[in-house]
Structure 1
Amino acid sequence: MSARAGRTVLITGGASGLGAALAAEFLARGDRVLVTDRVSTYDGTGASYLKLDVTSDEDWESARAWVEQQWGGLDVLVNNAGIATGGRIDVVTLEEWQGVIDINLLGVVRGCRTFTPMMKAAGSGQIVNTASLAGLVHPPAMASYTAVKAGVVALSESLSYELAPFGIAVSAVCPGFFRTNLASSLHGSDTALDKVAARLIERAPLDATQVAAEVMKGIDAKRMVILPDKAARRAVMTKRFARPLYDRAQRKFGARLQAITTRNQKETS
């Protein structure tokens, strides 16, 4: 099912990575796109740009006012902004936990709270929240990331039922690892695990453009959970239907991570 062209679309974290790739997909369809991000300048073409920090209530109010003044309403909200994080529970600080909660979870909450009244008034709309495969399957040494991404999945599911009577569809996008600049946000306390995560991102088989093309299919179909790559779908199916195999694989991964971090510690000592 193809969505109609000419919609109004706001994308957070849209200056790079998956957000930029999604912006290109919407623009190619003839949609009007407002890209928002924390960067001061934006060199993309075809889209409008507004600086927006998703942790700022004032920035969200400015975005709402811009949309109302320029477009008179919003058809699609893509809450995409986020940072990569992870690490062992006894290494990652509470400040790091608070940071990822504020950006990856409460940033999505703020976006939904800002634009839901506008969509309710229109009797239509679509909210797309970028979660992660980590919101559905929960590898070791990623507790801060999996916890908030699971929260985004839960938020999206709950809102999909809550907002359906108003003609508003809600989806959670749950890709596995793909090549993006997200690795650049890995600056946590657990540097050994950050290096492992960065390698997984850099060696992923798909890039943001490929993932975005698949995400658009899920958006068109208004799927509640969008799994845009085979690896993500396989992981979810394994957890659901072959739980002992899934558990063994995650424990094996945990042992491997422990071996890597122990080796790294010896090399740097």
Structure 2
Amino acid sequence: MRLNPFGGSRRTQQADAVVTGAGSGIGRAFAVELGRRGGRVICSDIDAERARETVELVSAAGGKAFDTGCDVSRIEQVEALANTAEQWFGKPADLVVNNAGIGRGGEVIGDAPLREWHQVLDINLWGVIHGCHVFAPRLRAAGHGNIVNVASAAAFGVAPRMAAYNVSKAGVLALSETLAAELSGTGVGVTVLCPTAVKTNILQGVSVGSESMDEWGDRLLRWTGREPAAIARTTLDAVDHGRLYVVPQFEAKVIWQSKRLLPQQYTRAAGLLERLVR
């Protein structure tokens, strides 16, 4: 692990990292960037073939990687992932990126089927809970390392017709803040990522309830969406500087500040805007 000339260690340089949801999007970008920084990466994904494709990209970037399948909604598979990582690294991981997630939306609370709630929370929230539950004690025992949890600006943006997704990401944000408090002084850091639009396939095939809203969503993605590689670089740099929150885009920062300063007015405006656009 290379020393940071400003003091401390650059934890993402030559890190031994585990990335969930590494088969595409932000997860793949994290894996490749870690490889570019000279790391060894366990690329896990529910789609084992896509995880293998990411391994090739990590190798091309200059790192070393190993692929494995993992359904993060199942605790036994996350435990197996941690054991696989320790066997391959020969020691516990330095960095864990809890990234795996899905996008859902389109119906208001009461109309959205409960099976959708369970599916979204099982992967987006329980998957991160499982990752923290399994890896945090190992990192604490080692006395160093980092956990990166991928949330979203949806955690505080309260967009209508996205309730299950919003709740899952708000849970990840609260989990990350709590974990950071619990790990304070242990040598283990926590970083939570809250982006807005990122050019990934997480919302592919997801409708938010009307053609006009879907068109607006597509336009925002084209106009303001950032590439996953840029998000990964920004987040890993934040890890090196010991930052808890990563809110990488301008519009995400505006939402963050507006919600904190004028919470009631912001929430009403979000509802009025959604009905106007529809």
- TM-score in terms of structure 1 length: 0.87
**What is residue 61 of structure 1 aligned with on the other side?**
79
**What is residue 128 of structure 1 aligned with on the other side?**
148
**What is residue 76 of structure 1 aligned with on the other side?**
95
Aligned mate of 1:144, from 155, 158, 164? 164
1:52 equivalent to 2:59? Answer: no
CA contact (8 A) 1:12 1:19 kept: yes
**Structure 1: gaps (5+ residues):** 261-269
**What is residue 175 of structure 1 aligned with on the other side?**
195
- Once residues 216 and 185 of structure 1 are traced to their aligned partners in structure 2, the CA distance between those partners, rounded to angstroms, is 30
Superimposed CA distance per residue, residues 226-249 of structure 1 (whole angstroms, 9 cap, x where no aligned partner) = 111111112112222355763453
- Once residues 124 and 133 of structure 1 are traced to their aligned partners in structure 2, the CA distance between those partners, rounded to angstroms, is 28
CA contact (8 A) 2:198 2:225 kept: yes
Quote the offset at 1:106 in angstroms.
0.4
Quote the offset at 1:153 in angstroms.
0.3
SS in 2 for 1:50: strand
**What is residue 41 of structure 2 aligned with on the other side?**
33
**What is residue 153 of structure 1 aligned with on the other side?**
173
Counterpart of 2:98 in structure 1: which amino acid?
N
SS in 1 for 2:48: coil
> Structure 1 residues 241, 63: closer, same or farther in 2, change over 3 A?
same
Superimposed CA distance per residue, residues 149-203 of structure 1 (whole angstroms, 9 cap, x where no aligned partner) = 111000000010111232211111100112111122637xx65489468626743
| Superposition RMSD in Å | 2.2
> Structure 1 residues 122, 28: closer, same or farther in 2, change over 3 A?
same
The residue correspondences of 1:75-224 to structure 2 (distance < 5 A) are: 75-87=94-106, 88-184=108-204, 186=206, 192=210, 195=214, 199=218, 202-203=221-222, 204-224=224-244
CA contact (8 A) 2:196 2:225 kept: no
- Once residues 128 and 94 of structure 2 are traced to their aligned partners in structure 1, the CA distance between those partners, rounded to angstroms, is 17
- TM-score in terms of structure 2 length: 0.84
Q: Out of 11-20 and 245-254, give the one that drifted further.
A: 245-254
- Once residues 172 and 84 of structure 2 are traced to their aligned partners in structure 1, the CA distance between those partners, rounded to angstroms, is 26
Quote the offset at 1:83 in angstroms.
0.4
> Structure 1 residues 185, 233: closer, same or farther in 2, change over 3 A?
same
**Structure 2: gaps (5+ residues):** 1-5, 60-64
